Structure 1
């Protein structure tokens, strides 16, 4: 028996795209699926045949050059308004991304179960520093776990949870009690990343699973721009350079940096840094192109190491150049280097055309990186990350109650 599933995919494009593939799999299994996401990503959702529920606010204003404490607070407030409004929707189950985690209170108010569908591993572990903090180096096993636990009880989250619970008419709970209930009930969290890229930490409690990637939906009717096809066929395989949504505020600067790096390295390039069209005979700037189509045609991919882009690069079997910016991105950069499919990462704040050129030359020119990338891709390609989530939702349809 099918159920109505509401996926809360707050965040930027990379936070929404994986849920289109997961949602499509749930729909194929007989469930009705809606995805709550910000308006700029509505087409991603509806293009996958899923219902879009708009969330107010613009996350890019809080993350790019327009960032300020006030902008972040305004975005957070509007997001909480949007989450509270979801309580008026019909749903049998809420699936919550990291940014949509306060949706647990919405599910409680609706009287329905919820589960986590995370693209970032925020659960406390000694294996690596907490990804949603300012820490970049390990604090030791105890310190890593403690710092991650403190994030769950941070004043920012505590204030948002308190206000949302009050608005939903729920009794107040302290951050410590909320966390304890989350752990005592073994609230289920599925992580949409390959266990080959991120092995499941041995110190995680039961209910925290690493399933494999959730690949973004791509319509069979999609066709690449003829200009892109012609460029790819006109010479050696180019390299890809893109820095995700965060580069949008300074697109001209990063485009110039990338072009200088490509010229210095003597490489052809496909850029996804802002403008569109041919920048020279050897450099083409593109807009949104599905990474599962584009990346396998590249000699290497340089990117910001968002979870979804990292997964697409791994799936393509091509070497990477990691240019992490924030949050979970340094973790994925370190994993790519540890797996031998990327040279040492270049932190975004230290990015120069010379450093990028050297890293691209190494990644595209050393056949050892390509061999390891192809071997990893062959293993990842047989994983089915959506299957455990679909199975859990199917159990709900058969009468499974989950955590309420």
Structure 2
């Protein structure tokens, strides 16, 4: 079967599709990944064919306005970034749309697995009557009793909760209608037709049921089939300084904000360093690519070691606890390796994962990035570090996750 995987967003949005692609390729399916061009190397690492969706979308996200709008700013700066991003996004969105159309037509897939951040596949389903499956790496994208849509994170009562899902469906339909105008299709599909496809398309949540048990009210086409990771061989090795640091400390905290930016990286890093030094807590701080954590010039410490782009599957098994931005992949990996965890959410689903971690008991509820200070962070960090119940709960959850293997269910749902 020819299968097209379509995803848009940051690297974390590509990972579930890459893991699925590897699984499908092993079953002899012909798999192509349609991602932004910046992620071509990821597809190639997994031995998957690649089709570029262009560079403009990621370039927009990485722009000053994009970083401010997506978590790097607060107050007026964030609003200004969002406005500028909205004004600048048309060329990027059109490139994504036209590239998606071209790849759907050229590959002529039997099946499309797609992200909710893409729009063309819904129109493709209407045009061809072929099958597509929505892939969701985050919870609460469909109505679940006792919770609003992920974008509104919370429980506001049944009526308002249902309204948040209807509102997001309506917004997506409007976006798809706009895309249809850009494509200049005739005859055009109606909003009613588009909404019907949105609501009837089967969905696989690539989320661990340990973290997000399948809601009882979910209809059969909505499945929660576990978190999968790519099976790439790890050849990474630590340098001498990191090896020496780990040899000196038997209990270590890992801190990362992944690719997320924030408005005050120097101030936030210093607040974290003050807490760690004052309480003599050994920590590895990952600066990654987002610029959200910045090592001070000439900084040296017996308790803190800065790294960049360290593989999580190497470092997490060696950590007692993790403070992170609350991305889906990082949340899963921290719990999988039995790490006590706390999120510092920046945007969207990260607030949901913050709640899920706290409710699971693997760590205290974190604070959002624009509220971070020594005063707000220190008591939470010390609680994470000193409360043995968090580590115990994380290790219990890790054992439960280790039992999860939904490969047969995934293949069965995709091939049916």
* TM-score tier after normalising by the smaller chain length: 0.7 to 0.9
Measure, in 2, the Cα distance between the counterparts of 1:250 and 1:36. 34
Partner of 1:315: 336
- 1:169 and 2:203 are equivalent in the alignment: no
TM-score between both structures, scaled by the size of structure 2? 0.84
**CA 1:257–1:225 in 2, change beyond 3 Å: closer, same or farther?**
same
The answer for the alignment partner of 2:154 in structure 1 is: 137
1:126–1:142 Cα contact (<8 Å) kept = no
- 8 Å CA contact 2:123–2:194 kept in 1: the answer is no
Give the structure 1 partner of residue 113 of structure 2: 95
SS at match of 1:301: strand
Structure 1 unaligned residues grouped into runs of 5+: 396-404
Contact 1:239–1:270 at 8 Å: present in 2 too?
A: yes
The structural deviation recorded for 1:218 is 3.1
Does the 8 Å CA contact 1:126/1:140 hold for their aligned counterparts? no
1:284 aligns with 2:305: yes
- Residue matched to 1:247: 261
Cα RMSD, aligned residues only: 2.5
The size of the alignment, in residue pairs, is: 387
Measured against aligned partners, the alpha-carbon deviations of 1:238-267 in whole angstroms (never above 9, x if no partner) come to 211112322267543433332223223321
- Kept in 1, the 8 Å contact 2:255–2:283? The answer is yes
Q: Does 2:93 match 1:74?
A: no
C-alpha distance 365-142 of structure 1, shift in aligned 2 (>3 A): same
CA contact (8 A) 2:22 2:230 kept: no
Contact 1:96–1:117 (CA under 8 A) maintained in structure 2: yes
> Please, which runs of 5 or more residues in structure 2 have no aligned partner?
none
- The CA distance in 1 between the partners of 2:317 and 2:86, in whole Å, is 37
Q: How does 1:2-401 map to 2 (within 5 A)?
A: 3-56=1-54, 57-58=57-58, 59-61=61-63, 62=66, 63=70, 64-65=72-73, 67-75=81-89, 77-89=91-103, 90=107, 91-109=109-127, 112-121=130-139, 122-132=141-151, 135-154=152-171, 157-166=172-181, 167=183, 169=185, 171-183=187-199, 186-247=200-261, 250-273=264-287, 274=291, 275=294, 279-395=300-416
- Structure 2 SS opposite 1:153: helix
The separation in 1 between residues aligned to 2:239 and 2:36, in whole angstroms, is 27
* Cα gap change, 1:249 to 1:226, in 2 (>3 Å): farther
The C-alpha deviation readout for 1:178-203, integer Å capped at 9, x for no partner, is 222433xx321000111121121222
Higher relative contact order (CA 8 A, sep 6+): 1
1:270, distance to aligned residue in structure 2 (A): 1.3
